[in-house]
Chains A and B, each alone.
Chain A
Amino acid sequence: MSEKIMQEEKRVFMTGNEVVAWAAIAAKADIMYGYPITPQNEIMHYWTRLVPKYNKAFLQTEDELSAGFTTVGGVMAGRKAFTATAGPGNTLMQEPMSMAEMMRLPTVVVIQQRGGPSTATVIYSQQEVTLTTLGGNGEGMRIVYSTANHQELYDYTIKAFNTAWKYRFPTFVLGDGYQAKMREPLTIYRPEDRGMQIIEPQAYVGLAGVPGRDRPPAHHRNTYNLEEELYEKVSHDMAEFERIAPEVAEFQAENTDDADLVVVGHGVVFRAVREAVNNLREQGHQVGYFRPVTLRPLPVQQIKELSAGVGKILVVESAYGQLARLFKEVAYGGTAEITHFFRPGIGITATEVADRVKGLLEPVLRQPRLRKASFG
């Protein structure tokens, strides 16, 4: 009975929050812990409706601290556990996720970004990039997928569970209020039917046998006595994070080779970026686009090549430089001039991106490169 709805792939038309709930079912998630906050609520609404049909579980907690820490507990018990939040809830979520980072726990958290700072708006933004990639008292050892449409929300939510359990770093799907609430067509499918292997969870506690008699007890801690102990632990994990980064990092790019200017954007803003770039190309402008799909870890090699190869880069985001900061750190040492189009907490259209790009292209035509070289 429980497999019926997912038996074959089908075309559906649904909101992003519903997509996440279905994707969690497809990924064989066992339990969701959650606390209401807009705009992620319907993930819980759909999940709770699917729970009896698919023999899953749900707990509504007292706040996001609890939602995060119960998710930590669920994962340690060896179950695929997840939660979802936004805004101030994401702020609270950082404490449990720092524990997950320290203890290498494969938690999955879906973030549907709302406006910030503070409670701001319940609508939309890209202002939770810094928090989601680098939040908590830690080193940002986490994996963050930034989705751009509902098909990706489905694909990457499934992928997030696999990535988390494969690498044992906390994994986030970074959506936003637009993606959460909008309806779009997409194809839902069983990952197995497409040859994807679903990674099985493993317990950290509650293992077979009597601890101390049949096996050593599983003792898990996140507190260390000595600086050197901590240094060794963090260095080991950081080395592993950096080792896996190139195979985890994902990006999308087009027409960057011959471009005078490359537009960089992530998430739903990327859709405006791509449309603007395609239109400008048709009009004969030498422009391209680059989109990091993983914001943590970033596609480092590709960003370095890009910033060494093109004249201008325009970073576009619905935040005041949260992606740009991450991007510039990696691009450091490149020759590209990096400019920006920041629209914190508000949507960005293709026309707006195109207008900004045209404004930047004209001076390039007027001013020969010689002048720039003579500077300083």
Chain B
Amino acid sequence: MAPQPKMPRSWRAETKPHKFCPGCGHGIILKFLGEAIDELEIQDRVIFGCDIGCSLLSWDFFNLDSVQTHHGRTIPVMTGIKRARPELICIAYMGDGGGYSIGTQHMVSAAARNEKITAILANNTQYAMTGGQMAPTTLPGQKTETSPYGREPELTGYPLQGPEMVSAITPDGAYVARSSIGNLRQLKGALKKALENQINGNGFSFVEALSSCPTNWRTNAKDTWSFIENEMSKHFKVGEIKAPGTGQGEAG
């Protein structure tokens, strides 16, 4: 048997291989989330919440107490748990449809209240589970099932800048970053900092991870990477946007 990469301790081996499509970014994001949880030794007090859309396939992914919620409603469920039991570390995991469209009011309000939870959002520029419709994050000109001739910004707007928005409305103490499955070191660092920020009780923590969807993008491996690295990067700037004590992201 060929050697297998080591699974994070917080992964649930019984539910592997996972349920995501080949080439999907979710598995990569969840791998580094698992490693971050292991390194911080918080497996006994993390509550993992996942949204609807492809992210729901992570409902039994971890050896963590987990709740699968509704479309866009993971942030309020995790907020409810955190408010009732502040000692727990609550993670809301979702896609761009859940976080930036159907659940935007929860994202905005949790950010504005500086809820001490960690939201992690996989941005793959479209609704994947429902079959590849246009999302708030779809790139200009990008073809989807509901923008078959390409997204026209004049009619449907430009890709939503989630972390920038969250950064603009969060008070001090928030941690906000955009990462990418194309930059693993930075992705893992951001996830770990986002969890540490909650552990330290500083405020809302948010990481958007640029992710892949070869199934709906209809791309091969090479074109999938190219889309993330060359197309998405034109619209979504990877990096830390706001962190407590750094002076980043403060209004000028």
Chain A interface residues (CB < 8 Å from chain B): 30-31, 33, 57, 59, 61-63, 65-66, 69-79, 81, 95-96, 99, 204-207, 209-213, 217-223
0/1 interface trace, chain B 1-21, chain A, CB 8 Å (1 if under): 000000001101000000000
User: Across the interface, do A73 and B64 meet the contact criterion of CB distance under 8 Å?
Assistant: no
Known contacts A31-B84, A70-B77; is-contact A219 B109 (Cβ 8 Å): no
User: Across the interface, do B76 and A218 meet the contact criterion of CB distance under 8 Å?
Assistant: no
Q: Which of B44, B70, B77 contacts A211, CB < 8 Å?
A: B44
Q: Which of B68, B84, B105 contacts A73, CB < 8 Å?
A: B84
Residues in B neighbouring A209, C-beta threshold 8 A: 44
Tell me, in angstroms, the Cα distance from A31 to B106 when the chains sit together.
19
Instruction: Kindly provide the distance from the CB of B41 to the nearest chain A CB, expressed in whole angstroms.
Output: 10
Near A by CB (< 8 A), chain B positions 43-64 give 43-45, 47, 52, 56, 59-60, 62-64
Residues in A neighbouring B82, C-beta threshold 8 A: 73
User: Across the interface, do A72 and B77 meet the contact criterion of CB distance under 8 Å?
Assistant: yes
Known contacts A61-B76, A219-B60; is-contact A211 B65 (Cβ 8 Å): yes
Residues in B neighbouring A218, C-beta threshold 8 A: 65-66
Q: Decide if B148 is an interface residue (CB 8 Å cutoff).
A: no
Residues in B neighbouring A220, C-beta threshold 8 A: 59, 66-68
Tell me, in angstroms, the Cα distance from A72 to B81 when the chains sit together.
8
User: Across the interface, do B47 and A217 meet the contact criterion of CB distance under 8 Å?
Assistant: no
User: Across the interface, do A77 and B52 meet the contact criterion of CB distance under 8 Å?
Assistant: no
User: Across the interface, do A71 and B59 meet the contact criterion of CB distance under 8 Å?
Assistant: no
Which of A69, A72, A222, A223 has the most chain B CB within a 10 Å cutoff?
A69
Please give me the 5 A-B residue pairs with the lowest Cβ-Cβ distance, nearest first.
A73-B80, A212-B63, A70-B80, A62-B109, A69-B76
Is chain B's interface secondary structure helix, strand, loop, or mixed overall? mixed
Q: Decide if B169 is an interface residue (CB 8 Å cutoff).
A: no
Tell me, in angstroms, the Cα distance from A217 to B12 when the chains sit together.
9
Which of A73, A79, A221 has the most chain B CB within a 10 Å cutoff?
A73
User: Across the interface, do A206 and B88 meet the contact criterion of CB distance under 8 Å?
Assistant: yes
0/1 interface trace, chain B 66-92, chain A, CB 8 Å (1 if under): 111110010011111111110010000
- Apart from the given pairs A72-B77, A73-B80, A99-B73, 5 other A-B contacts in the complex at a CB distance below 8 Å: A31-B83, A66-B76, A79-B84, A205-B66, A220-B66
Residues in A neighbouring B77, C-beta threshold 8 A: 69-70, 72-73, 76
Cβ-closest chain B residue relative to A209: B44
Known contacts A78-B85, A211-B44, A221-B59; is-contact A206 B65 (Cβ 8 Å): yes
Cβ-closest chain A residue relative to B19: A225
Residues in A neighbouring B68, C-beta threshold 8 A: 220-223
User: Across the interface, do B76 and A74 meet the contact criterion of CB distance under 8 Å?
Assistant: no
Enumerate 24 A-B pairs (CB-CB under 8 Å) in ascending A order: A62-B109, A66-B106, A69-B69, A70-B76, A70-B77, A70-B80, A73-B83, A79-B84, A96-B73, A205-B47, A206-B47, A206-B65, A207-B65, A209-B44, A210-B43, A211-B44, A217-B62, A217-B65, A217-B66, A218-B65, A220-B59, A220-B68, A221-B60, A222-B68
Known contacts A70-B76, A205-B65; is-contact A77 B88 (Cβ 8 Å): yes
0/1 interface trace, chain B 112-129, chain A, CB 8 Å (1 if under): 000000000000000000
